[in-house]
Amino acid sequence: MRKLLVALTLLSASLSTAAFAQQQGRGTDAEQKACTRDVQKFCRPVIDQGDFTILACLKENRAKISQACDQVLKNHNQ
């Protein structure tokens, strides 16, 4: 669970937009919640490999991730 929280924090930090900058590089709780299951399901093997790897994993699995997580990525131009 701790690795997942770290991964989501890193993912959030990599999604750089003005809204994220205002929140000191962290996504909202709702944004993190939107992608939690997708990260667990599709990106578990790469959780400890850094934020860009997790982001790449979500993008690679875009057709399979939830609509909510996909929308978070879209909202941050990913």
pLDDT in tens, 9-51: 656 555 443 333 333 345 789 998 999 999 999 999 999 998 8
* Distances from the Cα of 76 to the Cα of 10, 30, 48, 57, angstroms: 14, 14, 22, 16
Q: Is the pTM of this model over 0.75?
A: no
> Residue 57 is inside which H or E element, if any?
helix 51-60
**DSSP letter (8 states) at residue 24:** T
Q: Note the pLDDT of residue 2.
A: 58
The mean per-residue pLDDT over the stretch 47-56 comes to 90
Nearest by Cα to 64 from 31, 32, 40, 28: 40
| pLDDT value, residue 19 | 39
Residues 6+ apart with CB under 8 A from 14: 51, 52, 54, 55
Q: Is the pLDDT of residue 1 over 80?
A: no
